[in-house]
Amino acid sequence: MAAQADRSFGQTDTYSEAGLATRRLAQWIGDTTWRDVPAAVRHEAKRALVNYVAVALAACTDPTLDKAVRNYRRFSAGQSSSVIGRSERVDLLNAAALNAMSANVFDFDDTHIPTIIHPTAPVAAALFAFAESLADSGPHASAMTGEALLLAFVIGVEVECRIGNAVSPEHYQRGWHITSTCGVFGAAAAIAKVLGLSAQQIVWALGNASAQAGGLVETLGTMSKSISVGNAARNGLLSALLAADDFSGPDSPLEGERGFLRVTASKPDADALSRELGHEWALLSNTYKPYPCGVVLNPVIDACLDLRRDARWTLNDVERVELTGHPLLRERTDRPNVRTGRESQVSAQHAVAVTLATGKASLAEFSDGAVTNPALRAFDTRLRFIDDASWPVEAAQVVVVLRSGETLSRRIHAARGSLAAPLADVELAAKLRELADYGGSGVAPQPLIDALWRFDSATDAAALMRLARAT
């Protein structure tokens, strides 16, 4: 594929060698067909969409969405597209933003390993908004099929995760919110695919996206995080639409001297953009969370649930708790004194306390109400982190030392929901049912589940959004 891409570009453009990595990626985006996608990747795309709809329905009536919808609607240019779980309709750009926000509010969305990108929200939100705009454009417009949307989705996820691999792990460590910064490229690539853009225009779409990449880790635990996730979908969609109108961009938006990779990481790996492209697929490294929190907390919660099961002690009997895991566990979740449910989703102090206290780890345990419990807040000083870089991210050990002197320990080698212990299809469907009920939209989950599992045969991809719309 790469060799063909080089010959094709050599015949049709005047790019310098400096843009080779971007050109290869653009050519692959344009050339890849549904036949090129392995069956396992096709199925994983549907699994990702089941999880996407589930988490978007969970957050559809959250105050974050209420405030965002109220403000974004003021600037809506039309009513072509739906907001999942709500009755409002807005234009395609605002729908892309709002649905990406909704899917990421509770940190319950999917996670790509090892970049920790939440890949589906920016890409799927852009694609469904665009699909609805096509369906709304008149009786003679061609609908986007489910197969076409799935292909574009696979491609968008591949692009954002490869860019993420090229800048990881430094990118996140420097404070860039990687889902937002890389998600804009995934959305741009996906929309470029369904638009049928030329390789030249796809390079421009990626260039337009590079001008709009942003998002800071400092915003985690606040409503502000949702802005950049929404922007990733909205701006990626806009980037491709502009490129379709020959709105030009730089030759080397990714690997250029002042391109995305070098600006956001000191030692990027540009080869990651095309290494084994078309042979290794990012979706096969995608995972789905059983708990609404940062993915590095999954093994911690697994261990705490095991320790709490049938225990004859209470949280007040605990002298201290020691967490051993990859340094990312401490870096991303050492957050005492949380004030909101959002902050609690990335707080090991809260996750350990609430799970040991209740034996549960659902959305209710990571809510604004849960963090006001004085017993949980008093636990903060009893937690210690032990970093061990040899441990994988999906593993952790929890040691509980009781005031009596008794010590209890659980080690999780592969957290539930990890690549080694993935959620089954039936578990993802159950998650959609549970979260649809939690969100309170009134949307019936089973028709959505049925439509998603057979989505590759859908003649109109936008029909799914009609099932996801509140009446």
Distance, C-alpha 140 to centroid of its chain:
34
Query: Does residue 42 surpass a pLDDT of 70?
Result: yes
Distance CA 255, CA 196 (A): 24
Comparing 46-55, 104-113, 136-145, 146-155, the range with the smallest average pLDDT is: 136-145
According to the model, what pLDDT value does residue 383 have? 97
Collapsing DSSP states into helix, strand and coil, what is residue 207? helix
CA proximity to 205, closest of 239, 231, 157: 239
pLDDT tens digits, one per residue of 388-398 = 999 998 899 99
pLDDT tens digits, one per residue of 21-40 = 999 999 999 999 999 999 99
Banded model confidence at residue 294, pLDDT cuts 50, 70, 90? confident
CA proximity to 116, closest of 170, 54, 40: 170
CA proximity to 29, closest of 12, 8, 49, 48: 8
Mean pLDDT of 328-345: 92
CA proximity to 168, closest of 288, 255, 269: 269
Banded model confidence at residue 2, pLDDT cuts 50, 70, 90? very low
Collapsing DSSP states into helix, strand and coil, what is residue 411? strand
Distance, C-alpha 144 to centroid of its chain:
23
Mean pLDDT computed over every residue of the chain: 93
What are the residues whose beta carbons fall under 8 Å from the beta carbon of 105, sequence distance 6 or more? 55, 58, 59, 62, 64, 65, 226, 342
pLDDT tens digits, one per residue of 206-260 = 999 999 999 999 998 889 999 999 999 999 999 999 999 999 999 999 999 999 9
Query: Does residue 46 surpass a pLDDT of 70?
Result: yes
pLDDT tens digits, one per residue of 124-179 = 999 999 999 997 766 656 899 999 999 999 999 999 999 999 999 999 999 999 99
Indicate the domain borders of the chain. Answer: 2-288+437-467, 295-412
According to the model, what pLDDT value does residue 141 have? 66
Mean pLDDT of 119-127: 98
Comparing 332 with 68, which gets the higher pLDDT?
68
Q: How many CB atoms lie within 10 A of CB 66?
A: 12
According to the model, what pLDDT value does residue 138 have? 63
Query: Does residue 16 surpass a pLDDT of 80?
Result: no
Whether the Cβ atoms of residue 223 and residue 67 lie closer than 8 Å to each other: yes
295-412: in CATH 3.40.50.2300: no
What are the residues whose beta carbons fall under 8 Å from the beta carbon of 303, sequence distance 6 or more? 396, 397, 398, 410, 411, 412
Interior angle at CA 215, CA 251 and CA 170, nearest 5: 75
Structure tokens at 417: 């929901």
Mean pLDDT of 317-340: 94
Structure tokens at 297: 């907390």
2-288+437-467: CATH topology: 2-methylcitrate dehydratase PrpD (1.10.4100)
Collapsing DSSP states into helix, strand and coil, what is residue 338? coil
According to the model, what pLDDT value does residue 140 have? 56
What are the residues whose beta carbons fall under 8 Å from the beta carbon of 13, sequence distance 6 or more? 23, 199, 200
Structure tokens at 363: 């959305």
Query: Residues for the chain: how many in total?
Result: 471
Distance CA 441, CA 374 (A): 32
Q: How many CB atoms lie within 10 A of CB 134?
A: 18
According to the model, what pLDDT value does residue 11 have? 34
Structure tokens at 33: 């067909």
According to the model, what pLDDT value does residue 295 have? 87
Mean pLDDT of 340-348: 91
pLDDT tens digits, one per residue of 370-427 = 999 999 999 999 999 999 999 998 899 999 999 999 999 999 999 999 999 999 999 9
Query: Does residue 8 surpass a pLDDT of 50?
Result: no
Please state at what angle helix 445-453 crosses helix 425-439, rounded to 10 degrees. 150
Instruction: Give 423's DSSP letter.
Output: P
Whether the Cβ atoms of residue 98 and residue 82 lie closer than 8 Å to each other: no
Give the sign of the dihedral formed by CA 324, CA 330, CA 336, CA 342.
negative
| Type of residue found at 199 | A
Would the pTM of this model clear 0.75, i.e. be above it? yes
Structure tokens at 370: 């849960």
Whether the Cβ atoms of residue 152 and residue 190 lie closer than 8 Å to each other: yes
pLDDT tens digits, one per residue of 297-322 = 999 999 999 999 989 999 999 999 99
Whether the Cβ atoms of residue 22 and residue 206 lie closer than 8 Å to each other: yes
Determine phi and psi for 385, rounding to 5 degrees: -100, 140
